[in-house]
Chain A
Amino acid sequence: MAAHNKKLGLLLSTPPQHPNLETVIRLTETALTEKDRVYLYLIDQGALAMDDPRLNSLIEQGLKLFVCAYGADRHHVPLSGKATPCGLVVLSDLVKGCDQFLSFN
């Protein structure tokens, strides 16, 4: 049986029109399919992707979505409840606690 339940941390700081969002979504889909736990932290312009319907679907499949409260405020993104607003302490915890962490900037 393949190993599973690894923790994958992802950070996205680019706006929705940047190809990074597609990459992050694909990685998340694959990791969730493999039964890994995925944590996505949206920061800076990445906060603008918070209400992307594809992310909503991934949340239903188990994605843990976080948004930097400072970034959301800066880019005038209203907090809708789909993502957990937080600060850099959470990011620090994810960087430390995940088996793998990838940053898309």
Chain B
Amino acid sequence: MTDRILVLIKSNPLESHRPAEAIRIALGLASGDHSVVIVLLNQAPLLLANDTEDLVDGDILQKYLPTFKELDQTFFVEEGSLRIHPLDESDYKIQTVSFDKITELIRQAGRFFIF
């Protein structure tokens, strides 16, 4: 359990640099021996939209996010957030989850980073 890290991003990438920083940190941790679980809530799913130009530190996202495709990383997106910010055209690996499922993911993790 300790090896699994949960990175939960709930900040708004339109207003804060913290989601982009969270992605950078998640990538750094994923490069180690850890299993990294990334959960997106609220406006955070915007990180995975095709157009990141309006996001704070969008250039950093463009630099780091594509590596997650190579890592075959799944992004767990809360279903309510996804209804508001549909990602039909995103080419990232996305799994829609309920809050119950997010609770389960939290229970399975040993380390937590919440942005």
Contacts and interface: CB of A to CB of B under 8 A. Distances in A.
A84 B52 CA distance: 33
8 contacts: A43-B21, A88-B25, A88-B31, A92-B28, A96-B3, A96-B32, A96-B33, A101-B111
Contacts of A13: 18, 21, 115
Interface of B: 2-3, 5, 17-18, 21, 24-25, 27-29, 31-34, 111-115
Given A44-B18, A88-B25, A95 B111 contact: yes
Given A89-B32, A92-B29, A95-B29, A103 B21 contact: no
Interface residues of A, number: 16
A97 to B, nearest CB: 10
Interface of A: 11, 13, 43-44, 70, 87-89, 91-93, 95-96, 101, 103, 105
